[in-house]
Amino acid sequence: MGDGAGIGPEVVVGALADAAVHELCRPLVIGDARRLREAARLRGAAVEVVAVDSVAEARFEPGRIDVVDLGLLPGDLPWGELSAVAGEAAYQYVRVAAELAVAGEVQAICTAPLNKKALHAAGHDFPGHTELLAALTGTEEVSMMLSTPKVKVIHVTTHIGLIDAIAKIEPGLVARTVRRGHAAIRASGVDEPVIGVCGINPHAGENGLFGAGEEEEKIVPALEELRAEGIDARGPLPADTAFFLAGRGDYDLIVAMYHDQGHAPVKVLGIEAGVNITAGLPVIRTSVDHGTAFDIAGTGTADVGSMVEALRQAADLAPVSVS
């Protein structure tokens, strides 16, 4: 359900009130039933929120939202305000979801946004869902992948400073990131993905004119190794043209070297269409590609498009089809 003080409850209710979503998957919420009922009232959604104790008790019916109710939020929790209580609850929702997924009781996880400051205030020192889920599932290394109808991008580094990101990038990390992206794109139905790999410097270094040879040192050896494995990885590419080429269909996936290099183009394309996928986990995880939006939380106006798309992609990637 995400952070209960943000728009997570509203986008969850809004998405699950759509009968078409129930044709995609059998949704079960991990969260707070009372908060979801309040969100339904704010949205004017004609749904029944029903607390269940287990997956087996859920009925997965249109017009009904089944929720494993952890009951961690006070009834008077303000909307749109930073709360350590909400941060702790958001952590526990993810923990329970991860346990269910690892146990095979659910086939995928789809996350509403949490608030990093609230998470930290609750004593959980993770930059976000990606790193939290890696820790909960005992996964040493994962990659953040953003997916839109036009462009998909996976990141070599994410939530670290730019100077630290450049220092961290090395051929092994680049190669592992590309392999995770290659596997994810193949899982989505593309048998032979074409992958464009961005450079670090402007114009991908312009043959040594910009930077200190980072492309040749950190990226080129990885590309040579990947091509030898049969992976069609091309680059290093100037980032300012790579996304244009991907948008017109030249590439199935773009590999960004750092956070803003990948995030900015995707968000220009429309945040409501974006989905965040964590590549490399032992479970399927997708997420909305927006934050807790405290400025509009509690107004019932949050757009649910990204949540619906995240649910669709989670269902598409899930290892088990359900009817």
Cα–Cα distance measured from residue 275 to residue 88, given in angstroms and rounded to the nearest whole number: 24
Would you call 259 helix, strand, or coil by DSSP? helix
Q: What is the pLDDT of residue 31?
A: 98
Residue 117 tokens, joined: 């400051």
Percent of the chain whose pLDDT exceeds 70: 98
Task: List domains and CATH numbers for the chain.
Answer: 1-139+281-323 (3.40.718.10), 146-276 (3.40.718.10)
Whether residue 269 is predicted with pLDDT greater than 90 in this model: the reply is: no
Are the CB atoms for 153 and 266 separated by under 8 Å? yes
Q: What is the pLDDT of residue 276?
A: 86
Mean per-residue pLDDT, 55-83: 97
Confidence of residue 152 (pLDDT cuts 50, 70, 90): very high
Q: What is the pLDDT of residue 130?
A: 86
Whether residue 320 is predicted with pLDDT greater than 80 in this model: the reply is: no
Q: What is the pLDDT of residue 104?
A: 94
Confidence of residue 209 (pLDDT cuts 50, 70, 90): confident
Angle at 142 between CA 193 and CA 229, to 5 degrees: 40
Q: What is the pLDDT of residue 289?
A: 82
What kind and span of H or E run contains 102? Answer: helix 84-102
Contacts 24+ apart (CB under 8 A), 134-138: 134/278, 134/280, 134/281, 136/94, 136/95, 136/98, 136/99, 137/98, 137/102, 137/281, 137/282, 137/283
Whether residue 319 is predicted with pLDDT greater than 80 in this model: the reply is: no
